[in-house]
Amino acid sequence: MEENKDQYEYHVPVMLQECLDGLDINPDGIYIDLTFGGGGHAREMYKLLSEKGKLIVFDQDADAKKNAWSAPNFHFVASNFSFLKNQLRMLGISKVDGILADLGVSSHQFNEPERGFSIRSDEKLDMRMNQRSGDSAYDVVNNYSEEQIMTMVGKYGEVKSPRRIAQAICLKRQSSPIATTGQLIAVLEPIAPKFKENKFYAQVFQAIRIEVNDEMNVLERMLEQTSEVLKPGGRLVVMSYHSLEDRLVKNYIKSGSFSGKVEKDFFGNILKPFKGISRKPLIANEEELERNSRARSAKLRVAERNEGE
């Protein structure tokens, strides 16, 4: 495996050692990194494997494939992680020992202005993690109804004034389309809370990005499949960056459902595929926060696959 000197510029791996500890890697096991990106986590996972071990990585972003390497026991899957089970079946794999998912947008995607993720640039509205398919942020902003936009920014952006945002967007696009991130910021500027403008813009951008990439539904489908492909005792390690993601992960680990409602069998036994390794999520230490500001919002949850569920 060749070292890629640009990997940490592409995406600095957050809580790297905590992720490796959580996976509790068996050198001869089969492991999956569902969010390969720059390969920061995956490379360190791979170093802990023997020749008998395997590492399979997923990423739907075409840019990520440039960070892959060639080895008999390494495989890059150019796919959204919601197709986890089908992709493993195509590789002849039914069960694995550990799964890592580092959710959200990579540093590389934020730092590439033309991707349209950042509030700090004036580029075309895109925000697709897979630029080869699906509606872009432009389509959402210019074609959704006022009610759809209000629901989206309220639910996924968790802002206090979703209707005002929707009305402002719909009013502006009557005269001309909102085509760039800068134009969208200009629409939002008059209604942004004073001294909290950047947080407000980030919340609206987050809402649009989640909608464009169908992130919540994709996350649910992925989590359900992890319980099917992990061996008993296998580890699930998930890192999230906002409360919506973390809530889904927490509920699924704790109760086996996304609502948090516990289901029981006829005998009163709780039906859930995982048990949490720690009660509270892990967060980055002060030293890491100084090196990498992206780690500030990260929450890491580790779970172990139960026997016989």
CA distance 103 to 219: 9
The rounded distance, in Å, linking the Cα atoms of 274 and 198 is 38
pTM here is 0.88
pLDDT at position 105, please? Answer: 64
Measured CA to CA, the distance from residue 253 to residue 159 in angstroms comes to 27
State the helix-helix crossing angle for 16-23 and 40-47, rounded to 10 degrees.
50
Taking residue 138's Cβ as centre, other Cβ atoms within 10 Å add up to 20
Between CA 166 and CA 300, with CA 214 as vertex, the angle to 5 degrees is 110
Q: Would you state the structure tokens that stand for residue 174, as one six-digit string? A: 């009557």
The low-confidence residues of the chain, meaning pLDDT below 50, are: 4-9, 108, 110-111
The per-residue pLDDT for range 228-237, each reduced to its tens digit, is 999 999 999 9
Q: Which residue has the tokens 């999956």?
A: 32
Token output for 193: 């809370």
CA distance 142 to 176: 9
What pLDDT does residue 5 have?
A: 45
H-run or E-run covering 51: none
State the pLDDT at residue 108.
Answer: 46
